[in-house]
Amino acid sequence: MRTSVVVFAVVLFLSAICLGQLRSSLCDLTNRRLEDCPSLNSAQETSHSGLHLLSSKEGPAEASEADAPDAAGSYSHASSTLIASQPNANSGFHWRRALLESFTFLTIEQGYVVHSDFFWVTVENGVPFNHYWRDYTRSLSTWVHSGWNDGDPNWYGYVGHPIQGALTGFIQIQNDPQGEKLEFSRTKAYWWSRLKAGLWNAAYSTQWNLGPLSEVTGEKYGTKVRGPWNYDGSWPCHRHCVTGVGQIDIVMTPLGGTGWLIGEDFLDRFIVRRVERATPNRFLIDTVRCALNPIRGGANMLTENRHGIAPPAILEK
């Protein structure tokens, strides 16, 4: 399975151009510090109750002190450094947008996978999904008896799939008004939000691995027509056969993905935010954000255009 490769490539591509996605880019023309940027401040004002956001008024020194844990291990929420913004009772989870963004990501992944495994996609008389139910049940049966390993290199299962999971988790977060503005913290709201992201991630991952539009239905893994092979990819299989399906992905994607996502939250709060407060240098800020939050940047590329029109090209007279 080349899932991990395509996810990795997609995320790298998306994150490479995420500079233009960052909210700080809205302030670039004014050449002001981020804390003075109206767009950022207005965004904070629209967030929800119980969310602890770093104030735009603090300086680097105060921020460092405010971020330091106290003796009990909790983080101080002094009024000068954190604000609790107003609730927005009308904002529920954006189901349509989240499903559309997830389907877009699924289409990108399938686009690459179908291309790289075109022979297997069309192996049943040239028709994709041919003998659907017969092959689907066979694949599920193979998966149940396949054990942990699916035959992919370790970094596919332990790195690539968690990246996929983190991206779908961020799709849930960016469509959840209750969790979108939350930063890493020891609050119930934060961990509940990230648990919901993990559940979205698990649902997408299960669909990708075993669902009706999955690798097994599209590429015929675990079916009679695509029999097992050796670890080195050779045919026919003699011993220690692999089938392309295994339980590793269905476990590691939600678990590793949620861990990756929380890791990016942690880096965002304790490094990226400090850099933002410490320097007005837009390039440095955006570079740090993209370097330390690449998957969030990738997911951000999938957001719906809330203004109804994409960034236009400029035609010079």
Residues that bind other proteins (CB under 8 A): 17, 20, 100-101, 104, 107-108, 110-112, 114-115, 118-119, 121-122, 126-128, 301-305, 308-317
Provide the b/e sequence for 20-55 (b: ≥16 CB within 10 Å). ebbebeebbeeeebbbebeebeebeeebbeebbbbb
> Smallest distance from the beta carbon of 54 to other proteins, in angstroms?
26
Nearest alpha carbon to residue 250 among 215, 224, 218: 215
227, 128 in Cβ contact below 8 A? no
The DSSP secondary structure of 267-291, one letter per residue, reads HIIIIIHHHHHH---HHHHHHHHHH
175 by DSSP, 3-state: which? coil
Single-letter amino acid, residue 226 = R
CB of 302 to other proteins, least distance (A): 6
Closer residue to other proteins in complex, CB, 112/229 = 112
Q: Please give the DSSP secondary-structure letter assigned to residue 242.
A: B
Dist. CA 1–CA 218, nearest whole Å: 12
Min CB(315)–other proteins separation in Å:
4
Q: What is the closest distance, in whole angstroms, from the C-beta atom of residue 262 to other proteins in the complex?
A: 26
Q: Closest approach of Cβ 150 to other proteins, in Å?
A: 24
The smaller minimum CB distance to other proteins, of residues 73 and 308, is found at 308
19's CB contacts (< 8 A; 6+ apart) are 25, 286, 287, 290
Instruction: Please tell me the distance from the alpha carbon of residue 153 to that of residue 166, in angstroms, as a whole number.
Output: 20
Nearer to other proteins, 100 or 251 (CB): 100
Which residue, 114 or 159, is less far from other proteins as judged by CB? 114
Q: Between 87 and 128, whose beta carbon lies closer to other proteins?
A: 128
- Shortest distance, CB of residue 297 to other proteins, whole angstroms? 13
At residue 289, what are phi and psi to the nearest 5 degrees?
A: -65, -45
Kindly calculate the radius of gyration of the chain based on its CA atoms and give it in whole angstroms. Answer: 22
The residue among 81 and 217 lying less far from other proteins, judged by its C-beta, is 217
Of 13 and 266, nearer to other proteins (C-beta) is 13
Nearer to other proteins, 67 or 304 (CB): 304
Residue 93: half-sphere exposure toward Cβ, Cα within 13 Å: 11
Q: Minimal distance in Å, beta carbon 114 to other proteins?
A: 5
Least gap, CB of 310 to other proteins (angstroms): 5
Cβ atoms < 10 Å from Cβ of 61: 10
User: Is residue 83 a contact partner of residue 35, using CB atoms and an 8 Å limit?
Assistant: no
